[in-house]
Amino acid sequence: MSKLKIAIQKSGRLNEDSMKILKDVGIAIVNGKDQLKASAKNFPLEVFYLRNGDIPQYLKDGVVDVAIIGENVLVEKGQNITVAVKLGFSSCKVSVAIPKGKGYNSIKDLEGKRIATSYPNTVNQFLKDNNVNANLHIINGSVEIAPNIGLADAIVDIVSSGSTLFKNNLKEVDVILKSEAVLAVSPQISTENQAILNKLQFRLQSVLKARNSRYVLLNAPNNKVDDIINILPGMKSPTVLPLAEEGWSSLHSVINKNDFWEIIDELKANGAEGILVCPIENMVL
């Protein structure tokens, strides 16, 4: 029986988040310490633990069928590789940073300057798109130190919390790319493995939809039900059930977690009481 081969970062936060989402979609991985390959017990899937920067080439060569990888790495090294699903975790930015004491008005200020980066393809494309000529110094590792030792006037690197920039007396001045983890697909995936991938995608989308939603239960007087229904977005329409107390109903619906507080305040203003908000494990649409 064919198995879908998936590449995952060997270690670090992306590895942890990747393994968690596979667990959340019901896939049990049997892997020992320092193992480079593992199989799922209950799904036709093999996991390959690889260096993040090597994964795009494995996808291009068809060594693996799919990968959970940062969008930033795919943009830098994985041109023409398809993104099947955006996964919503491991968010970061590829940004321009300069010493705190320097001024910056626009990308044009980098004309003729020296830029240190681990993302030459991404930076070159960005400079080309903005008609800016600069000198790139390619560094694999601690890019942030380059301005402090006189190697560069600016850097382009991954920014998450910004603490590393702060420690190195740098400030973020421009964002080239916003990135998150994605499920990327090899151009050489077989028809048989594409069918397995379709099943995996369905599960992933159910979990991602659930992560971004909340289940809401509330009580309301019957004369306010129509007003509250107009507030609740729901998947189709809210469920309305009569309560034992005459003149009252219970309403059940699903809301986007990002709209949570705005909707709750509006519900309360329109007579809703006893509001319960619960996480959702899966949403099969």
**106: in domain:** yes
| Claim to verify: residue 21 and residue 158 sit in the same structural domain | no
Average pLDDT score, the chain: 91
**164: in domain:** yes
| Claim to verify: residue 188 and residue 66 sit in the same structural domain | yes
| Claim to verify: residue 9 and residue 47 sit in the same structural domain | yes
The answer to whether the beta carbons of residues 65 and 197 sit under 8 Å apart is yes
| Claim to verify: residue 219 and residue 268 sit in the same structural domain | yes
The answer to whether the beta carbons of residues 172 and 96 sit under 8 Å apart is yes
Mean pLDDT across 152-180 = 91
Q: Look at residue 151 and tell me whether its pLDDT is greater than 60.
A: yes
| Claim to verify: residue 197 and residue 79 sit in the same structural domain | yes
Q: Give the per-residue pLDDT at 263.
A: 86
CA–centroid distance for 142 within its chain: 24
Number of domains in the chain: 3
**197: in domain:** yes
Please report, for the domain that includes residue 233, its CATH number.
3.30.70.120
Choose the final residue of a domain: 179, 198, 231. Answer: 179
| Containing structural domain, residue 263 | 213-279
Please report, for the domain that includes residue 41, its CATH number.
3.40.190.10
pLDDT grade, residue 283 (50/70/90)?
A: confident
H-assigned helices in 3-106: 13-24, 55-61, 71-77
| Claim to verify: residue 100 and residue 156 sit in the same structural domain | yes
| Claim to verify: residue 188 and residue 156 sit in the same structural domain | no
**135: in domain:** yes
Q: Give the per-residue pLDDT at 182.
A: 97
**147: in domain:** yes
Q: Look at residue 205 and tell me whether its pLDDT is greater than 70.
A: yes
CA neighbor of 256 nearest in space, from 237, 274, 235, 238: 235
pLDDT grade, residue 249 (50/70/90)?
A: very high
Residues whose CB is less than 8 angstroms from the CB of residue 99 and which lie 6 or more positions away in sequence, other chains included: 147, 148, 169, 170, 171
Choose the final residue of a domain: 159, 179, 199. Answer: 179
Q: Give the per-residue pLDDT at 233.
A: 67
**284: in domain:** no
**67: in domain:** yes
**285: in domain:** no
| Claim to verify: residue 247 and residue 261 sit in the same structural domain | yes
The CA distance from 50 to 16, in Å, is 13
User: Any bridge partners for residue 29, and if so which?
Assistant: 40
Backbone φ and ψ for 19, nearest 5 degrees, come out as: -65, -35
pLDDT grade, residue 108 (50/70/90)?
A: very high
